[in-house]
Amino acid sequence: MCGIVGIVAKSHVNQSIYDALTILQHRGQDAAGIVTWHNDKLFLRKDNGLVSDVFRTRHMKRLVGHIGIGHVRYPTAGSSSSAEAQPFYVNSPYGITLAHNGNLTNAAEVAEHLYKEDLRHINTTSDSEVLLNVFAHEMQKQGELIPTPESIFKAIARVHQRIRGGYSVVAMINGFGLVAFRDPNGIRPAVFGVREREHGKEYMVASESVALDGLGFKLVRDIAPGECIVITKEGEFFSQQCAEDPKLVPCIFEHVYFARPDSIMDGISVYKARLKMGEYLAGKIMKERPDHDIDVVIPIPDTSRTSALQLANRLGVKYREGFMKNRYIGRTFIMPGQQQRKKSVKQKLNAIALEFAGKNVLLVDDSIVRGTTCNQIIEMAREAGAKNVYFASAAPEVRYPNVYGIDMPAVEELIAHDRTVAEIETAIGADWLIYQDLEDLQRSCLNGASTEVQEFDCSVFDAQYVTGDIDEAYFERLRVARSDASKSSANSAEDVAIDLHNDQE
């Protein structure tokens, strides 16, 4: 999962893009990048690390211009190499730079075609570079010295035909303006907004509406599935549907875990959805355990707080904050390696013994993926004196990998793979385990929302992959790319390359 932003303004955008990326930092902590346009030149800064680490005053001073795009990244496969930090750039045609959130499911096939037919070389393992080169090639085929909105729409229509998967994209064409588009199923999110200024309208595209809020932009709407929007350097706005058969099927895991609760996606309030998750989960607990002996409900911070609070209210049980979080440690789900995840849990969380001692505690988390984190947290609760430790997941069992841009591991690394709930309960060390039902999760997101969404991508729960191109061969390639052993090996090689590069400097 990554975060993207693009701004067309009347003044320099470097600070605004920086601020937007800090707001979207929860979507990726592996790398960050910004590119701006000024006087027919592109100015780029990107590197591994948090936004605050990558950009210093000297970098910001060089990022001049009133148009720009930005990206925060975490790796969905392979290494966390600085060579794969975004945005990416190609000089032909025009000079195009692009940032991407998502994953192409036919990236290998398209990369081969780019080399053999389009004579384009891909220099990294990133599917974002593949996507950029497809877009650049289709723009080149338009044969125009100066691009137009019409030629861009034609090129994007061809992009949709050539690639598959989940993707939201911001791109910048040198001397022309900003382009943004979303996959034909709307799997990955993208919104745009406007800000009125003395000299006219300013436009912003971002992964989440919360980034617009933070910069004073008014949310206009989500970019529709398959739609492309174009904003020229003069501030002219154009949009067109570029997909043949678009259908809105957004990723439900955005509402479970990734998105900030103060965001609105496809007309759905993430906060309200998480409240409903807690409500439905409480209903299931009362049905299955009407005589439960839960003394206190404690969330595992931060994402599960909203659901846990509503769950406690519905059960009529005390809600308490039992874990204090070190906010200077990154999200463990995003860390590229199981050993690093294991090491970080106790660095990140500390139990308040007062809230656990002698009590039957219900811990609430947004989901359970590998089970490693919740296993250690349950141990911490017992060490703090809990009599019994129950565990509730606001999402159903994660049994299948995500192929549309979320770094869920190879299937055998998922704790729910080939296990019953009772077996998972034993594996994580809980006295009792309960999962949300998938139907209730979907109801949570749709309940009372003013949205065009009728169904979600729930593939991590039900293996129904909306693009229809996922088979066992694909899973095997994914297993190799996403296994912790593969990432460890790739990261080790990258460390050597970085050391050699620094020696030369």
Q: Which residues belong to the active site?
A: 2
Residue pair 48/67 in contact by the 8 Å Cβ criterion: no
Tell me how far apart the alpha carbons of residues 211 and 23 are, in angstroms, rounded to a whole number: 6
Residue pair 107/147 in contact by the 8 Å Cβ criterion: no
Who's near 72: CB < 8 A, 6+ residues apart?
A: 2, 3, 21, 24, 25, 27, 28, 29, 31, 32, 51
> Half-sphere exposure (CA, 13 Å, Cβ side) for 485?
5
- Read off the tokens for 70: 């930005």
> Half-sphere exposure (CA, 13 Å, Cβ side) for 1?
25
CA angle 52, 56, 61 (to 5 degrees): 130
Nearest of 90, 76, 77, 78 to residue 35 by alpha carbon: 90
Q: Which residue shows structure tokens 């409500």?
A: 279
Write out the E strands in 157-278. Answer: 165-173, 177-182, 191-197, 200-206, 218-222, 227-232, 237-241, 264-265, 268-269
Q: Is 365 annotated as a binding residue?
A: yes
3-state secondary structure string across 86-126: CCEEECCCCCEEEEEEEEECCHHHHHHHHHHCCCCCCCCCC
Nearest of 52, 107, 48, 104 to residue 73 by alpha carbon: 48
Which H helix or E strand runs over 488? helix 484-504
Q: Is 426 annotated as a binding residue?
A: no
Quote the distance between the C-alpha of residue 490 and its chain's center. 22
Q: For residue 457, give the DSSP letter.
A: B
Which H helix or E strand runs over 39? none
Burial class (CB in 10 A: 0-12, 13-18, 19+), 189: buried
Which H helix or E strand runs over 3? strand 3-8
Tell me how far apart the alpha carbons of residues 473 and 453 are, in angstroms, rounded to a whole number: 31
Tell me how far apart the alpha carbons of residues 187 and 87 are, in angstroms, rounded to a whole number: 21
Q: For residue 268, give the DSSP letter.
A: E
Q: Is 450 left (phi over 0), alpha (psi -120 to 50) or beta?
A: beta
Cis omega (within 30 of 0) for bond into 87: yes
- Read off the tokens for 113: 């075609």
Residues making up the annotated binding site for Mg(2+) are 303, 365-366
Residues making up the annotated binding site are 303, 365-366
